[in-house]
Amino acid sequence: AAGAAAHSDHGRDMAFTLKAVANGEAEGYVIRDVAKLRTIAAKNGISIDKRSPNEIANDLADLYIAQFGQQRGEVVGVKRAPEKRQKLWREQNVAPRGVDREVVEALHRTHIGDDQDAEHIMNHAIRAALSDGWGGSMIATDVSDILFGTPAPVLGQANLGVLKDDMVNVVVHGHEPTLSQMIVAATQDPEIIAYAQAAGAKGIQLSGICCTANEILMRQGVPAAGNFLHQELSILTGAVEAMVVDVQCIMQALVNVASHFHTKIITTSSKVKITGATHIQFDDHHALDTARQILREAVDNYKNRGEVQIPDVREDLVPGFSHEYINYMLGGAYRASFRPLNDAIISGRIRGVAAIVGCNNPRSRQDDLHVKVVRELLKQDVLVVQTGCGAIASAKLGLMLGEAGLNQVGPGLREICETVGIPPVLHLGSCVDNTRILTVLSQMVEEGGLGDDIDQIPAVGLAPEWMSEKALAIGAYCVASGAYVIFGGASPVGGMPGRVDGSDTVLNYLSEGWEKEYGGKLEFMTDPDEMIRKTLEHIDKKRAALGLPGYAPEKWGRSGDAKMLELEALPLEARRKAMYGVAAD
């Protein structure tokens, strides 16, 4: 319930911002993707003919706002799932009626003396999670794309080395893009730049932490200073004048850490205040003015900077693989389609797909589980898509740049990457953008050849370092959508070793019970080798069920850039013989 509430409340705020923009009440915002606005509106039965973008946006905002307080029926996002999946949800009585209703009922059921049947309460967990994945989070993704632009590939950088020792460093951290987008705009304001230069700096260097980083990285190419466990590390450099936070994943000790340096922690949300932080209330009706005020506060703090130690470590990456762009890159403007992806899976060049998402967990070495799982699956010709902190983990490795990391990739996947011109790991966005993964899977079903529902696709979802309630909601709505989901680390019902026994009843139901009912299951495991083995077993099992050929990497690797480079290195006679089967005259 808490995870669904967090992401869905994000979606609610985005819907209210869209309403304000449509009515000319939000300073600095414009509708940047009119095509997506019209597409989404038409899918939801909103008239688009001979209507202005603002008129359409106003109606779409009203529809989306209504999804939260709706008491009966279904949230509109349910219609985007495959028909067979929609029917299953209705048969299981878990189709979400309204976002707020499902979250409130979940909290009611967990009150003392209420729901005491494990299967019954876990099925409502499914319903609450679906209200997030196909409701609140989907709304957040839609509206962010409409207002700020649907992501497409852009060059960016990641890691602490993006901080600059001769500039005012402002780090935005959190999840909602409304403020961070305005701060991006304000950093380009000549008046603000001059203000920073008057303070002795060359300018303002903006970077991001966590999902705010992903939001501005994938749209403007603003560098990411890191993921969840980098928030304290960035302050330890001594180079950060201000860390601007909104909601979610803000460490409780952040203000205390900052007190040992000159860094100001600036809170901005009406939902989040932190003792000892500076609060500057964000108001989307005066967003640009608020952004300028925050930047001036950071510039004024530049004179208090002490010793600086910035690691000279950063990697280039190409983020921005929205499902719309994936459609385009596979077929162009006139033949956009998921057909090439499906065909690559059917032929066996791509063994399957893994969505590796979620958090960092302080109980494990930062990024370690993400890194091990990603690297091994790439060797096994599994296409990897990522969101959230998991995406930044791979970005810091250099696995999100087209020419980088291909020597670590299996022969079939490598051919696909070289042919299409993509990195071996695709950055799909922030944590709310796991809805893009749902959309991709639904489009793969619609394209044909991989079954008639999501649970038949050779695909697995993993959260190797999960730690937040949002991750649990994501895992549950992916299971309900038909996916096999693996979480690293301990189960929330695993008990306390030596003190409280775990609940085998619940764990078995999350796996075996949910698989019988939804075709997806949720399992917890601590060993990355087991995660990899289970992922590959599931992918191969789904391939076999579809009648697809077994995994045979030796069939591939005879084309693509690697083979051409190998041939070009041969003497002329040997090259002709290798290419044509005849020797030179």
Q: Which residue has the tokens 């080798």?
A: 529
**Average pLDDT over every residue of 531-552:** 98
- Asked if residue 141 has pLDDT above 70, the reply is yes
What pLDDT, on the 0 to 100 scale, is given for residue 578?
Answer: 78
Dihedral sign for Cα atoms in the order 213, 58, 271, 299: positive
The predicted structure's pLDDT at residue 163:
99
Report CA dihedral (458, 463, 464, 469) to the nearest 10 degrees: -160
pLDDT in tens, 56-104: 999 999 999 999 999 999 999 999 999 999 999 999 999 999 999 999 9
Task: Please give the share of the chain, as a percent, with pLDDT higher than 90.
Answer: 89
Q: Where does 156-304 sit in CATH, by number? A: 3.40.50.2030
| CA atoms of 215 and 223, how far apart (whole Å) | 11
Overall pTM surpassing 0.75 (yes/no): yes
Does residue 384 contact residue 424 with C-beta atoms inside 8 Å?
A: yes
Which residue, 270, 272, 274, is CA-closest to 253? 274
Same fold, 156-304 and 318-551: yes
CB 184 within 8 A of CB 216: yes
Domain ranges, ordered by start, for the chain: 2-148, 156-304, 318-551
For the 318-551 domain, the top CATH level (class) is alpha beta
Q: What is the pLDDT of residue 551?
A: 96
How much is the mean pLDDT over the chain? 95
Residues pairing with 171 in the sheet: 207, 243
534, 381 contact by CB (below 8 A): no
**What's the chain's Rg over C-alpha atoms?**
24
Give the model's pLDDT for residue 566: 78
pLDDT of the residue at 572: 81
- The pLDDT of 365-391, averaged and rounded, is 97
| Dist. CA 401–CA 548, nearest whole Å | 30
Q: 432, 361, 353: which is closest to 393 by C-alpha? A: 361
pLDDT in tens, 221-272: 999 999 999 999 999 999 999 999 999 999 999 999 999 999 999 999 999 9
Of 3.30.530.20, 1.10.3720.10, 3.30.750.200, 1.20.1270.30, the CATH number of 2-148 is 1.20.1270.30
3-state SS class at 582: coil
Q: Which of 233, 187, 247 is nearest to 430 (CA)?
A: 247
